[in-house]
Amino acid sequence: MDHSESIRLMAAEKYLLGELTPEARDQFEEHFFGCQECALDVRAGAALVEHSKVVLSEPVAVAPAREAAPAPARPGWFAWLRPAFAVPLLALLAVMGYQNLVTYPKLKGEVAMVNQPQILASASLINANTRGAGRTVVSARQGEPFLLFLDIPTETKFTSYVAELDGPGGSAEWSLTIPAETTKDMVPIRVPADHHAAGMYTLVVRGVDSSGGKSFEIGRYPFELQIRN
């Protein structure tokens, strides 16, 4: 799935609503890992959904019952603002206020940063898979992306490759599908600007064959992430 198809299908919205088919969901996930615009759409939508759940889950105070008062001769301008309508309206206003005051300014800042030229921290993992090789160190600022350069040994039996980043605790943080044709040259991998903890990481690369999609580990590339001010 390319970016134009993602926009046409409204894939980010349908992804968050669970309306994509399993095949389309996998294709979109593969796409937005490398697409800043779609990744921001997903993050903004997820933040909006979570905030809406919080607002709508708050209990509503119910006033004690009172004796019915005589109805006014004419309804006032705000007679439509009954509790049945006021609660959803207030929730909607709260969500809109959160969007305008928090979500949108933050996303605008992120988009502006992405669109500006940057000098990113980087490291070459070409020799990190070799025994006796020195320790590879990446020195990056917290919350900023960095680049890893990788040389994947290609084999004709593999139709694609999967790179998985394992964190200091050993659990996978994300995975990325790499088409076989891109491995003819050195592969640059942009690590997203998440709040990574300092420590040892391992980029595990597996080859995927054409017979049922079985994967075979072909290399482990350890590196140390250092967070600088």
- Interval 20-71: pLDDT, tens: 888 888 888 887 777 777 777 777 777 666 656 555 555 555 556 566 555 5
Rounded to an integer, the average pLDDT of 201-226 is 89
- Interval 159-200: pLDDT, tens: 899 999 999 988 999 999 999 998 888 999 999 887 788 999
Q: pLDDT value at position 49? A: 62
CB 147 within 8 A of CB 122: yes
The maximal CA–CA distance of the chain, rounded, in angstroms, is: 91
CB 221 within 8 A of CB 205: yes
In single-letter form, the type of residue at position 109 comes to G
E strand segments, 53-169: 121-124, 137-141, 146-150, 158-166
